[in-house]
Amino acid sequence: MKFYNRLIFTSLLFAAIVSCKSQQKTLVTDGSELVQVANNFSFTEGPASDKNGNVYFTDQPNNKILKWNQADNSINTFMESSGRANGLYFDNDQNLLAAADDKNELWRIHENGKIDTLITDFEGKKLNGPNDIWVDKKGGIYFTDPYYQRDYWTRKEADIKEKNVYYISPDLKNISIVAKGLAQPNGIIGTPNGKKLYVADIGDKKTYSYSIQENGTLSDRTLFTDMGSDGMTIDNLGNIYLTGEGVTIFNSKGEQLKNIPINENWTANVTFGGKNQDVLFITAMGSVYTLQMNVHGVRY
């Protein structure tokens, strides 16, 4: 009986290893190579894909939002004087949300360039500096608010000592803290079914998952992996993509599947773009890269 049980355990372990290795092989399209699209920026961040698969990203030191056109692989300037935008995300009406770091605000940018300032403070105190954004199915907005001292600020310390994750209600009337006790929350992404939110605490080198409640609050904080991240995304299989030393991919159980090395000192952020949402778009230092994938991103 002991031998039989050991045989079953060994078979299950072998099957798990084979399955994990198989998924590693199938994530990236066979024969595809990492392509450096451009390298003439100062520091790229915040990629976000629109409904057509074009990717908008930021060059924060140069105060610009750029647009990668998936049809011809070209890059054009979408906005000058972008509020030192960092993270970007499209809301459910295809307006571009921007973590406008210059005055610690959250912007909504319409297609014609019109800007709505959604928030600049919390309970009368200036935000630390909104960093990354995710929008749920209802239109509620989650954003991380770490503190990174900028040389273009006049202030030298935070009004809000804690580094929190906030939630803005779909009607934009209420803002609340939904996650606290973090050293430096940064990357953020939710699952397509709206039931789970991942938050990277880059300051503590950890990433957590939370259960999303009906009213947008979070519960059941669980350690996902002992790795922080600057930015993050998710694919149709539920795999989570973290950044820093290249792009590291984990399955939904927190098991590492693959690392995509990037020949840069730092990989800041990642998303899926392209007509079929199967192009991994990566921002790293002054460059942006693409990689053809077998998996794809998710949209509502």
Condensed to tens digits (0 to 9), the pLDDT of residues 170-219 reads 999 999 999 999 999 999 999 999 999 999 999 999 999 999 999 999 99
- Hey, what CATH class is 2-292 in? mainly beta
Which of 4-13, 133-142, 171-180, 238-247 bottoms out in mean pLDDT, i.e. has the lowest? 4-13
Q: Higher model confidence: residue 166 or residue 9?
A: 166
Each residue of 128-143: pLDDT tens digit?
999 999 999 999 999 9
Contacts of 202 (CB under 8 A, 6+ apart): 146, 183, 184, 185, 186, 187, 228, 229, 230, 244
Q: What is the pTM of this model?
A: 0.91
Average pLDDT, the chain: 92
Alpha helices, DSSP H, located in the chain: 2-27
Is the pLDDT at 22 greater than 80? The verdict is no
- Burial status of residue 60 (CB atoms within 10 A of its CB: 0-12, 13-18, 19 or more): buried
How many Cβ atoms are within 10 Å of 139's Cβ, its own excluded?
15
